[in-house]
Structure 1
Amino acid sequence: MSDFDMMDLPATLVKRLELMGMTEPTPIQKQAIPHGLNGRDVMGLAQTGTGKTAAFGIPLIAQMLELEGRPAPKSVRGLVLAPTRELATQISENLRDFAQNTPLKVAMVVGGQNINTQIKRLAPGVDLLVATPGRLLDLLDRRAVRLDAASFLVLDEADQMLDMGFIHDLRKISKLIPAERQTMLFSATMPKLMNEIAESYLNKPIRIEVSPPGKAADKVTQEVHFIAKAEKKELLKELLAKHPGERALVFGRTKHGCEKLMKDLVKAGFDAASIHGNKSQGQRDRAIEAFKSGKITVLVATDVAARGLDIPDVKFVYNYELPNVPDNYVHRIGRTARAGKDGAAIAFCAPDEMGELKDIQKTMKTSIPVASGRPWEVLEDPAKPKGRGGRGRGRGGRGGGSGGGQPQGAAKPAGAGAPGGARRRRRGGGGGGKQAAQG
C-alpha cells in the first residue's frame, strides 16, 4: 500500500500513480493534497523540483472524476495558468499522465503554435486547460473559449508571472472565472506583490511552505570558478569533456550569446542544442525532446529554461553567465538533483559578475565553495558615472587575472562591491520577457 492510499483518492488514480512509480508523496504533496481534496484554497511555497505539479494536479484530477456529464462546448472546468510554454508543456504532460484511462480531457494552449488548431481543440469543451496568459486572452478575444464554468483555478510559478509582467493579464482572466471556485497558487518566492495576488484570487487560503525561498535542493553540490570572461569557453569544454554522455544544462544570459556558444560546442565535437526566445516553439520542443532522449547531451539555454524543464537525468548545471536576478540562480540549479537524484551546479564568475555572485550568496544565505581561482576585487572607476560599479582586477583567477584589465581607483577587499553595488544589467535579457515566453 502506498502513502497515496491514505489520502482517500479514487482507486483508479492511486493505481495510476503506482504505475508511474509514485508511492511516497513529497513534503509539498503530503501537505497540499489533503487540503486540495477538501476544496480549500491553497498557497504553496516550494522550490522547483519539489513535486508541485502533482501537489495541485492530483487533487484536481480526483475532484474532476467526481463531476457528472461532459463539459459544454468551448468551456473548461479547470484552468491552470503557467508563465512559459515549457512549463505549460510539462504540466499538461503530467496531468495527462495522471488522467490516463479516465474520461477526463486535458488540453494545452500556448503561444508559438497555430491558434486555429487550438480553436478546434477547444470547440468540444475540455475538462482541464493548461495555458499561458497571453494566448488564453487571444482565444478569449476570439470567443473560442469560455471560463464561466470553471470551478478550479491554479496559478503555477506565480512569482515568475509577476516578474514577466502578467499581472494585468491575470486580472482580466480572473474576472471571467466564477467567484465560487477553488484556487491554488504555487510559487518559489514570495515577493510583496504576491500578497495582493493572494488577496485578489484566494479565499482564506491555507499557507504551506516546505522550503525557505532561496534554498537550493539538498542534493545539489555547488562550486564556483573565478575566471576571466575570455577563458570561460575553454573551461566549459574542459569540464564537459570530463563527463561524456552525462546530460548538462548550460545557462547564458542572451539569446545571441547562447546560440553562438552552442555552435562553438558543436564545432568542438559536443552533441549540443540551444533553446531561447528566438527559437520557434517547434525548434524548442525538438531540442528538449532530443535532450530528454539523450540524442544530445548538452543544452544551452537562457532563463526560458530555468523553470519548466523536468528532466530527472540532468547531472550538471553550468551557470556560464551568472543571472542578474538572484532567484533565477536557484531556479537554474533546480534543473538538477530532481526526483531524489544527485546533481552538480558549477558557476563561472568573471570580474564584472562579482556583484551578481554576492547577491546570489546573500539570497541563499550561504557561500558557494570555490573550485578554482580567487574572488575578484571590485573597484570603482572614477571615470564612470557613480553607481555603475567598477571593473574587477584578478586575484589569482584561472587566467591569472588577465580578464580584469587595469582599472583605476583604490582597490577594495576581495569580493566587495563597488559603491552603489556592482554593475547591474537590464533585467529581461536572454529571452525571459513576456513576448519571448509566449511567442
Structure 2
Amino acid sequence: MSFTELGLADEIVRAVSEQGYTTPTPIQTQAIPAVLRGGDLLAGAQTGTGKTAGFTLPILQRLAKAGPMRRPKSVRALILTPTRELAAQVEESVRIYGKYLRLRSAVIFGGVGINPQIAVLANGLDILVATPGRLLDHMQQGTIDLTQVEILVLDEADRMLDMGFIRDIRKVLAALPPKRQNLLFSATFSDEIKALADGLLNNPEMIEVARRNSTADVIAQKIHPVDRNRKHPLLSHLIKSNSWTQVLVFTRTKHGANKLVEQLGKDGISAMAIHGNKSQSARTRALAEFKDGQLQVLVATDIAARGIDIDQLPHVVNYDLPNVPEDYVHRIGRTGRAGATGEAVSLVCVDEHDMLKGIEKLIKRSLPREVVPGFEPDPNAKPQPIQLRSGDMQGRGRQPRRQGGNAQEPAQNRARKPGNAGAPAKPAPQRGAGRKP
C-alpha cells in the first residue's frame, strides 16, 4: 500500500517521498485512515515504528482540507509530549511533512525564554506542539486560546503519566472545547493508560500493532554481567574493541552521566551528557553533534529516551538499568528504528538483578548473558542499595519539589503529583518537561 492509497493529498505524499519513504509502516497503515475518519483513537506501537507520522500526516490532511481558520492566540490542533526533545522532534516532522501546505506550526517548551513564544502564538496557529508545564504557563498568562482546538493528541501518554503530568493534563483538558477529536498514542499500554483513555476518549478505535510492552525483533539484546566498579572500564573496552562510532548510553542519574562523560574523555572517547541540569542550548547542541556524527558517545538520563530519533543508530548501552521496567523498552527503542537493525547492551551488576528480573518479566523473554573476558564479575559480591535518582538513595516516593517560581515559568516549579483516576501511580525517575528533570 502507498501513502496515496491511504487518502493523503498529493502535497503531503510529495513531502513524505522527499524524505525517502514510499511504503507506510503498519501503525501508519491503520492509524492514518482512522484519524482521517474523525473519530477518537487509542493507538499503541513499538517505539521507532513511525508512530509520529501516524498522527501528523492525517492531522495535516484534515486541517489543510478545511482551510486556514486561525484566530489570534488560537490553536486548531494541540499535540502534547512529555519532553522538550520529543516536542521539537514532532514539530520538525510537522514542518517537513507540511512544507507544501499553507499551515502554521510551532513548538513551545520550558528552559527557554517565553517572550518569543508569546509572539508566535499571538497570530494563531494551525498546529502547536507543547510540553504540559510551559503550556500551563501560557494559559495562566492568557497568551493562548484553547477554545478553538479541533484535534488533541497525547503523544507518549504513558511517559507523561510516569513523569507526574496527570494533573497538568487535566487542567489542559478543562480548557478545551468538549467537541473535538482525541488521539492517544503510546509505546506501551499500561492499566493507567487504559484508565486515562476511558475518561478521555469517546468510543475510540483501538490499534495495537505489536504485543504489549514488546521490543522490536530487529534489536539484538544482551547482558554483560560486571562488577559495579568496573562498568566504566568495560564500556570503554567495548567502544574501542568494537570500533563503535555512535553510541547512546543511558545512566540512572544526572551526576552519573556527568561523571561518565569525564571518565570517557580521559580514555580519549568524545562524549557529552544530556539531562535536566543542562541548559536547553547545551542539550540541543549535544544532540545535534551526536546526530551529525561529530560526537562518539551521548550519555543521557531517561529524559532523552523518548526524544532521540536518529536514523541508523547502531548501539544503545544501558550503563545503569532503569528502575522503571517500561523505560527499558523506550531506551533500546532508540536503535532498530524504521526497520533498521541495532544492538542494545546492558551492563548489569549484582545490585541490579531484581531490576533485570522486572524487565524480563515485562518483555516476556530472558535476555542472553555474555561475560566479557577480563571483566568477570565477583561471584561473592553482595548487592548494595541503588541510588535511583540524585539525592534519593532508596527511591521511596518522589522527592519534594520546589514551590513557586519566577514570572516566566510558574507552572514548571509547582509540585506535581503522580497518579490517575482509578489507578495507582508508578514511580517516575525523571521530572516533567519544562522543569529540570
TM-score range for the pair, normalised by the shorter chain length? 0.7 to 0.9
Between 1:19-28 and 1:127-136, the stretch displaced more is 19-28
Between 1:224-233 and 1:244-253, the stretch displaced more is 244-253
Q: TM-score, normalization: structure 2?
A: 0.88
AA aligned to 1:126 is L
Query: In structure 2, what is the Cα distance between the partners aligned to 1:365 and 1:344?
Result: 19
What do the CA deviations read for 1:212-246 (whole angstroms, capped 9, x no partner)? 22211111001111110011111100001134352
AA aligned to 1:92 is E
Shift of 1:187: 1.0
Alignment correspondent of 2:411? none
Alignment correspondent of 1:433? 430
What do the CA deviations read for 1:4-53 (whole angstroms, capped 9, x no partner)? 11112111111111111111111111111001111121100112111110
8 Å contact from structure 2 (residues 133, 434) kept in 1: no
8 Å contact from structure 1 (residues 33, 58) kept in 2: yes
* 2:111 paired with 1:108: no
8 Å contact from structure 1 (residues 33, 55) kept in 2: yes
Q: 1:436 to 1:257 in 2, by over 3 A?
A: farther
Alignment correspondent of 1:59? 58
8 Å contact from structure 1 (residues 78, 151) kept in 2: yes
Alignment correspondent of 2:389? none
Alignment correspondent of 1:415? none
Shift of 1:131: 0.2
Query: In structure 1, what is the Cα distance between the partners aligned to 2:276 and 2:15?
Result: 36
What do the CA deviations read for 1:131-168 (whole angstroms, capped 9, x no partner)? 00110000010000000111010000001111111111
8 Å contact from structure 2 (residues 82, 433) kept in 1: no
* 2:398 paired with 1:401: no
Alignment correspondent of 1:28? 27
1:242-281 pair list within 5 angstroms: 242-244=241-243, 246-281=245-280
Q: TM-score, normalization: structure 1?
A: 0.87
Larger radius of gyration: 1
Q: Which runs of 5 or more structure 2 residues have no equivalent in the other structure?
A: 385-392, 400-426
> What is the SS of the residue equivalent to 2:370?
strand
Identity of aligned residues (%): 45
Query: In structure 1, what is the Cα distance between the partners aligned to 2:105 and 2:429?
Result: 27
* 2:348 paired with 1:349: yes
Alignment correspondent of 2:198? 199
AA aligned to 1:88 is A
- CA RMSD in angstroms, aligned pairs only: 2.1
Q: 1:297 to 1:193 in 2, by over 3 A?
A: same
Alignment correspondent of 1:324? 323
Greater relative contact order (Cα < 8 A, sep 6+)? 2
> What is the SS of the residue equivalent to 1:89?
helix
Alignment correspondent of 1:378? none
Alignment correspondent of 2:80? 81
* 2:292 paired with 1:293: yes
Shift of 1:360: 0.6
Q: Which runs of 5 or more structure 1 residues have no equivalent in the other structure?
A: 374-395, 408-422
AA aligned to 1:292 is K
Alignment correspondent of 2:370? 371
Query: In structure 2, what is the Cα distance between the partners aligned to 1:250 and 1:182?
Result: 38
Shift of 1:279: 0.5
> What is the SS of the residue equivalent to 1:144?
coil
AA aligned to 1:68 is G
Q: 1:424 to 1:45 in 2, by over 3 A?
A: farther
Alignment correspondent of 1:98? 97
